[in-house]
Amino acid sequence: MKLKKYYVEGYGCALNISETEKISGFLESQKFEQADDFKEADIVVINTCAVKAVTEQRMLSRISFLFENKRSGAKLFVFGCLSAARSAPIKKISEKMTVLDTNLESLCRALKIRPKKFSPEMKSVKTREMISIIPIATGCVGGCSYCITKIARGELHSYSEKEIEVAFKKATAESKEIWITSQDLGCYGVDSSSSLPKLLKRLLKNEGDYFVRLGMMNPNHFKKIHKQLMPLFENRRLYKFLHLPVQSGSDQILKAMGRKYSGKDFLDCLKIARASQPNITISTDVIVGFPGEAKADFEKTLALLGKAKPDVVNISRFGKRPGTKAAIMKNQLSESEKKERSRKISSFCKNLFLEKNKKLVGKKFDALVSEKAGNGFFTARTDCYRPVLVKSCFGKFARVRITKAYPNFFEGEIVSCQK
Geometric angle at alpha carbon 309, from 307 and 311, rounded to 5°: 165
Contacts 24+ apart (CB under 8 A), 72-76: 73/1, 73/42, 74/41, 74/42, 74/43, 74/44, 75/3, 75/42, 75/43, 75/44, 76/43, 76/44, 76/45, 76/46
394 and 247 share one domain: no
Q: What does the pLDDT read at residue 215?
A: 98
Does one domain contain both 195 and 305? yes
Domain boundary among 111, 144, 179: 111
**Segments of 168-243 assigned E as strands:** 177-181, 211-214, 241-243
pLDDT per residue rounded down to tens, the chain (419 residues): 456 899 999 999 999 999 999 999 999 999 999 999 999 999 999 999 999 999 999 999 999 999 999 999 999 999 999 999 999 999 999 999 999 999 999 999 999 999 999 999 999 999 999 999 999 999 999 999 999 999 999 999 999 999 999 999 999 999 999 999 999 999 999 999 999 999 999 999 999 999 999 999 999 999 999 999 999 999 999 999 999 999 999 999 999 999 999 999 999 999 999 999 999 999 999 999 999 999 999 999 999 999 999 999 999 999 999 999 999 999 999 999 999 999 999 999 999 999 999 999 999 999 999 999 989 999 999 999 999 999 999 999 999 999 999 999 999 999 999 87
Task: Check residue 418 and give its pLDDT.
Answer: 87
d(CA 232, CA 276): 10
CATH number, position 386: 2.40.50.140
The residue segments making up the domain with residue 413 are 364-417
Q: In this structure, are 158 and 185 located in the same domain?
A: yes
Within a domain: 289:
yes
Residue ranges of the alpha helices (H) in 94-195? 104-111, 149-153, 161-174
Give residue 3's pLDDT. Answer: 61
- The residue out of 48, 79, 111 marking a domain boundary is 111
The whole-number pLDDT of residue 419 equals 75
Inter-residue contact 273 to 326 (CB < 8 Å): no
334: DSSP letter: P
Q: Are residues 56 and 140 in the same domain?
A: no
The set of residues, in sequence order, having a beta carbon less than 8 Å from that of 389 and lying 6+ positions away, is 373, 377, 378, 379, 380, 409, 410, 411, 412
Here the CATH number for the domain that contains residue 224 is 3.80.30.20
Q: Do 14 and 90 fall into the same domain?
A: yes
Q: Evaluate whether residue 158 is within a structural domain.
A: yes
* 148: in domain: yes
In a domain, 34, yes or no: yes
d(CA 343, CA 6): 42
Question: What kind and span of H or E run contains 92?
Answer: helix 87-93
Total of domains in the chain = 3
In a domain, 119, yes or no: no
Looking at the domain assignment, is residue 118 inside a domain? Answer: no
For residues 351 and 395, state if they share a domain: no
Burial group, residue 170, by CB count within 10 angstroms (0-12, 13-18, 19+): middle
Query: Is 304 found in the same domain as 232?
Result: yes
Are residues 412 and 353 part of one domain?
Answer: no
| Residue 185 CA from chain centroid, whole number | 11
